[in-house]
Amino acid sequence: MAEMDTSSGGGHKKGPGVKKGKKLSTRIDLTPMVDLGFLLITFFMYTTTLAKPKTMEINMPYKDPNLKEEEKNKIKESVALTILLSKNHKIYYYEGMATDPTKPPDLKATTFAQKNGIRDEIIAKKKMVDGMKASGALGPKDETTVLIKPDTTSTYSDLVNILDEMNINDVRVYAIIDISDVDQNFIKETELANGIK
Amino acid sequence: MPHAKLPRKSTNIDMTAMCDVAFLLLTFFMLATKFKPDEPVVVKTPSSISDIPLPDVDIMLLTVDPKGRIFFAIDNKGMRQNLIESINSDKGLNLTKEEMVSFDIDASIGIPFNQLKSYLAAPPDQKKTLQTNAPGIPADTAVLAPNNELAKWIYYARTSNPKLRICIKADGDASYPSVQKIIKTLEGYKIFKFNLITNLKGIPAGTAAYDDQQKAKKG
């Protein structure tokens, strides 16, 4: 394929007196071309972005400004778990929603650690709710609800991590809510009590 | 001693076939390559187990860098033209034709309205430094706040293409309030569904999502 037919065409032979010109081979060495080809392939393979970025879909709770006050807060205290995200990737959490000011919640601290982190707490909460559903204390429509309240000192990675935990642990109902002053005070008090600055 | 004469084989290999293969692959990679668009800032996104691929078209990308600066980008060139025209007339920026064309070829924008004209008029090499030192698009938690310029960008982008999917690509170290500004602005426009761009990570064993995955594998 890479050679060309250099024998004089037509089939007629040259006479004996005619001097033959030195036949130069037209066979081209393709090695450099192949080299070049593979070099370019390597370049394009490195620059190409085959792994497309992945996305996480989030649905924020629908906020209707016309919603009446009594229609809100339909979540039962017993199914709710409130998670506060704070600085240095720390997490504070408590059972319920702390709607009753006379009974301050028992704030506990944890982290995003694989073991003994927030995941275990979410799993425990889910088990508890499932147990209550089985015993009839909760209706079949009640589901574990996680309220996520990121502090102003928390980072975006905290938010993604906690949302990811929701997906990992199959928590269907969760919401990102603005942190209230009450919750911020809870964090402050706990930090003071534990000597964290 | 009589030797069995082995036919001498040429050591010259015909490279043609190899060359063909090489160039075939080259063509494939050249066509498949989609160069990364010029990004003004380096953003390291956090990881999640979510594996929904990012759609190719109709996306609005809001980038947040570690310092909390917001950059805005839409993918469609034609739409960018409409967008800058609407912004121009709304804000009275008095942009010239050339300046609008200059906006078209940009990847993303992180410049407040009052600096937009001087930025777009700058030559390309200067634009790059301006872009890296850009203050980011001013945003606020209230949609209607006068300094919420991000809201304007989102509004006009969505009027020119209502199908736009909104993706937030924020750095893991960006503070929550800077991301919250975007989320609140979107909520103000009644957009409650959007995407967060993340890296893929493995699902930890022994969790509900892991069980689901195993079940799906078994069929």
Q: Which long-range contacts (CB under 8 A, 24 or more apart) does A37-40 make?
A: A37/B19, A37/B22, A37/B23, A37/B25, A37/B26, A38/B22, A40/B26
Q: Is residue B104 part of a domain?
A: yes
Sorted by sequence, the CB contacts under 8 Å of residue A146 that are 6+ apart come out as A80, A81, A82, A83, A122, A125, A166, A171, A173, A174, A175
User: What's the pLDDT score for residue A134?
Assistant: 83
Q: Which residue of A has its CA nearest to B36?
A: A49
Span of A4-13, B19-28, B54-63, B189-198 with lowest mean pLDDT: A4-13
First to last CA, chain B: 71
- For an interface test with B, the pick among A56, A149, A183 (most B C-beta atoms closer than 10 Å) comes out as A56
Q: Is residue B119 part of a domain?
A: yes
CA–CA min distance A6, chain B (Å) = 18
Residue A149 with chain B: CB contacts under 8 Å = none
Least CB–CB distance from A159: residue in B29, B34, B179 = B179
What are the backbone dihedrals phi and psi of residue B169, each rounded to the nearest 5 degrees, phi first?
Answer: -120, 95
Helices and strands (DSSP H and E) totals, chain B? 8, 6
Residue B115 pLDDT more than 60?
A: yes
Question: What is the identity of the amino acid at A41?
Answer: I
**Pairs of CB atoms within 8 A across A/B:** 170
pLDDT tens, A124-177? Answer: 888 888 888 888 777 777 788 888 888 888 888 888 888 888 888 888 888 888
pLDDT tens, B137-185? Answer: 888 887 777 788 888 888 888 888 888 888 888 888 888 888 888 888 8
Helix ranges, chain A (H)? 31-47, 118-135, 156-168, 181-194
pLDDT tens, B8-52? Answer: 777 777 888 888 888 898 888 888 776 666 667 788 888 888 888
B 63-122: CB under 8 A from A: 64
Q: A151 and B212 in contact by Cβ < 8 A?
A: no
Residue A102 pLDDT more than 60?
A: yes
Q: With cut-offs at 50, 70 and 90, classify the pLDDT of residue B133.
A: confident
Residue B101, domain extent: 47-200
- Looking only at the bridges linking them, the beta strands covering A108-110 and A91-95 are antiparallel
- Looking only at the bridges linking them, the beta strands covering B193-200 and B165-170 are parallel
User: Do the Cβ atoms of A123 and A169 come closer than 8 Å?
Assistant: yes
Least CB–CB distance from A56: residue in B34, B177, B196 = B196
Residue A15 pLDDT more than 80?
A: no
User: Do the Cβ atoms of A119 and A165 come closer than 8 Å?
Assistant: yes
pLDDT tens, B59-104? Answer: 888 888 888 888 888 877 777 888 888 888 887 777 787 888 877 7
Give strand pairing partners of B152: none
Q: B49 and A167 in contact by Cβ < 8 A?
A: yes
Q: Compute the distance between CA of residue B151 and CA of residue B142 in angstroms, rounded to an integer.
A: 9
Residue B62 with chain A: CB contacts under 8 Å = none
Residue count (chain B): 219
Q: With cut-offs at 50, 70 and 90, classify the pLDDT of residue A195.
A: low
Mapped onto helix, strand or coil, the DSSP state of residue B175 is: strand
Helices and strands (DSSP H and E) totals, chain A? 4, 6
0.90 surpassed by pTM: no
Q: B50 and A56 in contact by Cβ < 8 A?
A: yes
Mapped onto helix, strand or coil, the DSSP state of residue B169 is: strand
Q: B207 and A161 in contact by Cβ < 8 A?
A: no
Q: Is residue B7 part of a domain?
A: no
Q: What is the mean pLDDT of residues A65-83?
A: 67
User: What's the pLDDT score for residue A9?
Assistant: 46
Asked if the C-beta of B215 comes within 8 angstroms of chain A's C-beta atoms, the answer is: no
Residue A7 pLDDT more than 70?
A: no
Find tokens 């050679």 and name the residue: A3
Asked if the C-beta of B27 comes within 8 angstroms of chain A's C-beta atoms, the answer is: no
DSSP 8-state symbol, B194? E
Q: What is the DSSP string of A123-163?
A: HHHHHHHHHHHHHTSS-TT---EEEEEE-TT-BHHHHHHHH
User: What's the pLDDT score for residue B9?
Assistant: 74
Residue A34 with chain B: CB contacts under 8 Å = 15, 18-19, 22
